[in-house]
Chain A
Amino acid sequence: MTYPALLVDVTIFVLALWVGFEVISKVPATLHTPLMSAANSIHGIVLAGAMLIAVTADNTVGYVIAFLAAAFAAANVVGGYVVTGRMLKMFRRRPALPATPAATAVVAGAAEPSPNGKGPAA
């Protein structure tokens, strides 16, 4: 038998929700801001919807709606991905070597007796 489109859609929606819960509950709190920003860019997929309504628009109101929808969605998707990338670039295991005195500090620290492990905790 064939199922009504709405039923298929609801099935996909519910299963995707569960996948989302499973995947996202494993993201550490350290990355929650980039996670939200990444989720933000993913809902920018509404751009696909905005593009499709430009096809059926045939009057001024329709065009205005299509224009606004395309602009909103494009801002969402482009801004979201760029800012997520910018944030994630900052998460480093060790700071960039020449940037801070930390690099020399590691060398100096290694010379003196130090019971504390100063290497990466992972």
Chain B
Amino acid sequence: MSTFDWVIQLIYVLAASCFVLGLHLMNTPATARRGNQVSTAGMITAVAATLAIIVHGNLISTTGWIVMIVGALVGSAAGLYSARTVQMTAMPQLVSMFNAVGGGAAALVGVHDYMDAGARVSATTSVTTLLDVIIGAVTFSGSLIAAGKLQGVITSAPVVFPGARVLNALLAVVAVGLGAFVISTPSTWVLLIIIVAALVFGVSMVMPIGGADMPVVISLLNAFTGTAVAMAGFVIGNWALIIAGALVGASGGILTKLMADAMNRSIRNIVVGGFGTGDAVAAVAGPGGSVQSIAADDAAIQLAYASKVIIVPGYGLAAAQAQHEVAALADELESHGVEVSYAIHPVAGRMPGHMNVLLAEANVPYPQLKEMDDINPEFARADVALVIGANDVTNPAARRAGTAISGMPILDVDQAKSIIVIKRSMGHGYAGIDNELYVDPKTSMYFADAKKALTELTAAVKTLVG
């Protein structure tokens, strides 16, 4: 090994260390920005080292340079533009698109290496190449479908067609069977068939998954991308790719598990079928009792004279684009000496942690954003819990056996001294069952669109309490 190779390897180790340190610094909001900068520095270092390899080797053709530089510039411009213009509500789509291109690039690295190596490939390298190509292609098409569903280009309802499972099984068999064949008999055409099978598999895997399950799907595809990149690292023998890919695989894996747990569903269950299939239990007789509604003025007085208010935002809040209105109400309440905090359920939003970003954008200070486990003991001390656009995650029925959401971790909203629910109608959440919280004698329903209701409440607090 030459001195040059030594230096390059050490630089890659440095870059990988920056990635680990960058992720480590994300353990508090105060240091997270520095973490991103450290990680960026690592990336620049790794790319510079790669450039040094290319220049030092002096093997690249002029066309190669042009292709590489123009490709990188086009990609950078597209990435930069979308990153700067994206709305925070559209963040899940963008993350999905980045998963898609990352997986796609990893697959292309594998394809190129396979074609370049031709008959020289050994059995062990072609196994990693195939894994790279298959996982990368599945991620590419699957993430594109996920992004399409999130954007509303493709219906977000689960699309289940007859024989879907048979098709998936068949595609998996084709990919694995032909994969085994290509290892013994290298053939670009067979590899092409494998790629097509993997692409179709990605589509048919994500199509049956409903919009509410997107946090799990995005996390899972993120883990896939990481794995594909690590496999690309195996293929070209680059440790920086292996380490970075493994880190992302671990991150995606943890988030997938957290999201699935928060929805009380197994990953297999989500991937195999649309929401409500498989684990549906016959609905237990709905709770008796009547619903009481409340007017803006009464709700405003209740809020303004409380000493502690916990706001429970759900996806309905984001869908109504009412983040800024809720922040304005919270500001107004705080100016009257009310202690305000937000209870964030892990699956509030369309990707892990999404609601926190939406509220941060509306200038909500992050110390007010509380995770489920931290806020649950506080509900008993809260005078008012204000529920906006959240449904199933507040349903006390989850604590009992025998309901569709039994066992799902919920926010203990019913422990609060009084509860105000802003909701357009008595409609059901994704689980399709009645919310027992709404008939609780402590609960008042404020039937209105979230944005309008919050504006009215803020105005009422201002005029009535001054």
- Whether B232 sits at the interface, judged by CB under 8 Å, is yes
Write out the residue numbers on chain A whose beta carbons fall within 8 Å of the beta carbon of B294: none
- Whether B202 sits at the interface, judged by CB under 8 Å, is no
With contacts A36-B222, A89-B33 taken as known, whether A62 is within 8 angstroms of B115 at the C-beta atoms is: yes
With contacts A34-B32, A46-B105, A54-B67 taken as known, whether A79 is within 8 angstroms of B232 at the C-beta atoms is: no
**A6 → B minimal CB distance (Å):** 5
Is A16 within 8 A of B71, CB to CB? no
Write out the residue numbers on chain B whose beta carbons fall within 8 Å of the beta carbon of A1: none
With contacts A63-B64, A70-B71 taken as known, whether A102 is within 8 angstroms of B353 at the C-beta atoms is: no
Is A26 within 8 A of B27, CB to CB? yes
Q: Which of B314-349 contact A (CB under 8 A)?
A: 331, 334-339, 341, 344, 346, 349
A25 to B26 Cα, complex, angstroms: 11
Is B40 within 8 A of A50, CB to CB? no
Q: Which of A76-101 contact B (CB under 8 A)?
A: 76-96, 99-101
| Nearest A residue (CB) for B15 | A45
**A55 → B minimal CB distance (Å):** 5
With contacts A49-B233, A55-B57 taken as known, whether A23 is within 8 angstroms of B23 at the C-beta atoms is: yes
Write out the residue numbers on chain B whose beta carbons fall within 8 Å of the beta carbon of A122: 367
Is B255 within 8 A of A69, CB to CB? no
Which one of A32, A58, A76, A112 has the greatest number of beta carbons of chain B within 10 Å?
Answer: A32
Chain B, residues 358-401, CB within 8 Å of chain A (1/0): the string is 00110111111101100000000000000000000000000000
A24 to B104 Cα, complex, angstroms: 25
Main secondary structure of the interface of A (DSSP, over half): helix
Which one of A21, A50, A118 has the greatest number of beta carbons of chain B within 10 Å?
Answer: A50
Write out the residue numbers on chain B whose beta carbons fall within 8 Å of the beta carbon of A38: 22-23, 26, 35-36, 39
Q: Pick from A24, A31, A41, A94: contact of B250, CB below 8 A.
A: A24
**A41 → B minimal CB distance (Å):** 7
- Whether B193 sits at the interface, judged by CB under 8 Å, is no
Is B337 within 8 A of A118, CB to CB? yes
Chain A, residues 20-40, CB within 8 Å of chain B (1/0): the string is 110111111111111111111
**A18 → B minimal CB distance (Å):** 8
> How many residue pairs at the A-B interface have CB separations less than 8 Å?
429
Is B308 within 8 A of A116, CB to CB? yes
Is B229 within 8 A of A45, CB to CB? yes
Main secondary structure of the interface of B (DSSP, over half): helix
Is A102 within 8 A of B108, CB to CB? no
With contacts A76-B98, A78-B75, A80-B79 taken as known, whether A24 is within 8 angstroms of B23 at the C-beta atoms is: yes
- Whether B169 sits at the interface, judged by CB under 8 Å, is no
A120 to B245 Cα, complex, angstroms: 37
**B95 → A minimal CB distance (Å):** 6
Q: Pick from A13, A55, A65, A81: contact of B108, CB below 8 A.
A: A65
Tally chain A residues at the interface, Cβ within 8 Å.
99
**A115 → B minimal CB distance (Å):** 7
Write out the residue numbers on chain A whose beta carbons fall within 8 Å of the beta carbon of B361: 90
Q: Pick from B16, B46, B75, B366: contact of A75, CB below 8 A.
A: B75
Is A62 within 8 A of B222, CB to CB? no
A58 to B112 Cα, complex, angstroms: 11
Write out the residue numbers on chain A whose beta carbons fall within 8 Å of the beta carbon of B239: 9, 12
Is A34 within 8 A of B353, CB to CB? yes
Write out the residue numbers on chain A whose beta carbons fall within 8 Å of the beta carbon of B51: 51
Q: Pick from B54, B124, B229, B364: contact of A51, CB below 8 A.
A: B54
Is A39 within 8 A of B247, CB to CB? yes
Which one of A27, A63, A81 has the greatest number of beta carbons of chain B within 10 Å?
Answer: A27
- Whether B406 sits at the interface, judged by CB under 8 Å, is no
Is A69 within 8 A of B109, CB to CB? yes
Chain B, residues 86-118, CB within 8 Å of chain A (1/0): the string is 101001001100110110111011011101100
Write out the residue numbers on chain A whose beta carbons fall within 8 Å of the beta carbon of B338: 116
Chain A, residues 48-78, CB within 8 Å of chain B (1/0): the string is 1111111111100111011111111111111
Is A43 within 8 A of B95, CB to CB? no
With contacts A9-B234, A75-B76, A105-B331 taken as known, whether A17 is within 8 angstroms of B250 at the C-beta atoms is: yes
Q: Pick from B27, B79, B353, B371: contact of A74, CB below 8 A.
A: B79
**A22 → B minimal CB distance (Å):** 9
Write out the residue numbers on chain A whose beta carbons fall within 8 Å of the beta carbon of B367: 93, 120-122
With contacts A30-B356, A40-B222, A67-B70 taken as known, whether A57 is within 8 angstroms of B243 at the C-beta atoms is: no
Given contacts A17-B246, A55-B64, 5 further A-B contacts (CB under 8 A): A12-B239, A34-B36, A37-B95, A50-B109, A75-B78
Q: List 6 A-B contacts (CB under 8 A).
A: A30-B356, A36-B352, A40-B222, A55-B59, A70-B72, A83-B84
Residues of A participating in the B interface, judged by any CB pair closer than 8 Å:
5-6, 9, 12-14, 16-21, 23-58, 61-63, 65-96, 99-102, 105, 108-109, 112, 114-118, 120-122
